[in-house]
Structure 1
């Protein structure tokens, strides 16, 4: 946790110092191009690698009754046996995090009054599912809203989403609900890693770093919108220049914007090599994208190379003398022993 926090703080300090020291062009023009190139190449490379990886067996995870006799009800979405059912399962997994919704919490009661001793108790735990769903959908809304900086004119669909997001009409500029909820969800996920002893025990640097980096991105974005009051028009002109591969001068850009942009670029650089690749990776997961039909269809591994079989008679001919010395039973004795 401390190392990840120090890394994020160091990145922010370097970007701030670079913007104040005349290196805004490096952090706001060169770094974004490099980050986008590495992000695109890295993601495509990982996806091609997963697509080419052999899956010799059907290994879907199941959570209910599989297809059996007609009078036994099948859990079609938790234990699909057809491609159509598998597609529905994938949609439920991607859009509603169904497997996370089924999450249960286990706790050991040391002095259970019923059993007069320790007992394991399971109960529903939906908080993680709620905040995970909240984080992903709020992040999606914020991501879509930011397209107003990359498009001119701004499409009506993005304007409509922005109007819904600021429907509360609180403050000037309007308070965007998605930004606030996104920060709350990220803080919950970070607090969970710090408070829950079992989760904290298995948490590593690559668990804390993306969380803190996302919090830094959201926090700097909120500060620019509500406190620093950055000039949105000049920022859009600058970003449109990047989009059209004709960058304008980075002079005059707010230092906080350079820090915010640097955090985003670091996220893009980190994404292809991190656990964040679960976003496209779920579509290549053999535990999710395959139907559970091992009892209906015979699966022959197409990647098996041709094998040269070694019969027992050939094996004994090859190692007969060694087997005789070891006292192993033989169907045919060595020639010297036979004489």
Structure 2
């Protein structure tokens, strides 16, 4: 059920978009109104989550460290794993965001012959890196639909992505890599017993939703070709707030757009929000300079206390009657 429910949900969403556009002709609803509403909800939700994290109290320095802290001059410091300066924190965050360095250092622990064996777990790092970088390139490639003229950097990115010139239309390498990455992340949750036990429906739903978006986009490019002129007209109309829905657009495009809209609405309130939350994690964005500076909790305010001497003065007679010893004596 943890797998079936999110899978059926994504298929149902795709089917609804197909039926409403292919048979009910609700092109304006799925091509204009829903994308606008989804983008607005995405921006609002993203800002709300960021503001909440940004205004949350962080009274202590709690960076996660893996190397030597800055101490004596002749002891070499791990400036990336245990930064003590702002520059070190920036370098650490760049390695974390761009190359998932903490995930690269991840290891797995298993019991073998009554012994704990620690081994490498680089497959998860590789699969996550392939998926995220491929998804980033695909999103940047789609800027060609929203900008006129198409910027040179988008054309260069497309050229690099299709460098092997495979097939007609030319095969984008990221289309293959993103499917491979999503498939690996899904199979990992299914095949590994411990991960399968811990996984919930909310872990499978974004995987199936992303797969639905990717597969529908791939099918539109390589199987059921859509009218790119009408698509460009639609996307440019959305950007310029003058939307025009062409009559020759295939329903599959609206399925693709609707799934993307669902992802935008779902994104800020899901685990996918780690893309923005990583910058606000005190375990990552703080310098470990506790030896150099004393950090006082700014929320420490004077608190009226009731000392034991005052307590004894107030209840001394009653304590004496029941035989309790008194410091005053």
Q: TM-score, normalised by structure 2?
A: 0.95
Kindly indicate whether residue 196 of structure 2 is the aligned counterpart of residue 200 of structure 1. yes
- Residue matched to 1:156: 152
Give the match for residue 297 of structure 1: 293
Q: Does 1:306 align with 2:305?
A: no
Aligned positions of 1:244-323 closer than 5 A: 244-249=240-245, 251-320=247-316, 323=319
Q: Which runs of 4+ in 1 moved over 6 A?
A: none
Which deviates further from its counterpart, 285-294 or 62-71? Answer: 62-71
1:123-138 matches, within 5 Å, as 123-138=119-134
Shift of 1:319: 3.7
Mapping 1:32-47, distance limit 5 Å: 32-47=35-50
What is the DSSP-based 3-state SS (H/G/I as helix, E as strand, rest coil) of the residue aligned with 1:289? coil
Q: Distance in 1 between matches of 2:323 and 2:226?
A: 87
Matched, 1:219 2:247: no
For residue 104 of structure 1, report the CA deviation from its aligned partner: 0.9
Aligned ranges 1:231-246 → 2 under 5 Å: 231-246=227-242
- Structure 1: 5+ residue runs without aligned partners? 111-117, 334-339
Residue 234 to residue 324, structure 1, CA distance change in 2 (3 Å): farther
Distance 1:327-1:266 versus aligned 2 partners, 3 A rule? farther
Higher mean C-alpha displacement, 17-26 vs 180-189: 17-26
1:161–1:326 Cα change, 3 Å: farther
How big is the shift at 1:324?
A: 4.4
Q: Give the Cα separation in 1 of the matches to 2:229 and 2:149.
A: 13
Kept in 2: contact 1:151–1:240 (CA 8 A):
yes
Q: Does 1:119 align with 2:115?
A: yes
Asked if 1 retains the 8 angstrom alpha-carbon contact of 2:84 and 2:288, the reply is yes
Give the conservation status (yes or no) of the 8 Å contact 2:220–2:252.
Answer: yes
Q: Note if contact 1:28-1:250 (Cα within 8 Å) is conserved in structure 2.
A: no
**CA contact under 8 A between 2:32 and 2:243: conserved in structure 1?**
yes
1:94-124 CA distance string (max 9 Å, x none): 11111000011211112xxxxxxx1111111
Q: CA deviation at 1:250?
A: 5.1
Q: How far 1:322 sits from its partner (Å)?
A: 5.2
Deviations 1:28-50 (A, max 9, x none): 21111110011001101111111
Root-mean-square deviation (CA), in Å?
A: 1.5
CA distance in 2, matches of 1:274, 1:328: 57
5+ residue gaps, structure 2, are none
Shift of 1:311: 2.2
Paired residues of 1:25 and 1:250 also in contact (CA < 8 A): no
1:51 aligns with 2:51: no
SS of residue in 2 equivalent to 1:193? helix
Question: Structure 1 residues 322-331 or 281-290, which shifts more?
Answer: 322-331
Aligned to 2:81: 78
1:24 is displaced (CA, Å) by: 2.2
Render the CA deviation track for 1:66-113: whole Å, top value 9, x for unaligned. Answer: 122223222111111122111111111111111000011211112xxx
- The offset of 1:332, in angstroms, is 4.7
Alpha-carbon distance change, 125 to 330 in structure 1, aligned in 2, over 3 angstroms: same
Aligned counterparts, 1:173-212, within 5 A? 173-212=169-208
Q: Secondary structure, in 3 states, of the residue corresponding to 2:109?
A: strand
Tell me the alpha carbon deviations over residues 211-230 of structure 1, each in whole angstroms, 9 at most, x when there is no partner: 11101100000000000011
Query: 2:142 & 2:69 partners in 1: Cα distance?
Result: 44
Q: 2:25 is matched with which residue: 8, 12, 22?
A: 22
Deviation of residue 17 (structure 1)? 1.0
Spell out, residue by residue over 1:195-238, the C-alpha distance to the aligned partner (whole angstroms, 9 max, x if none): 01111111111111111110110000000000001111110101
Change (3 A) 1:30 1:250: farther
Cα contact 2:106–2:121 (8 A) shared by 1: yes
SS of 1:248's partner is coil
Quote the offset at 1:325 in angstroms. Answer: 5.8
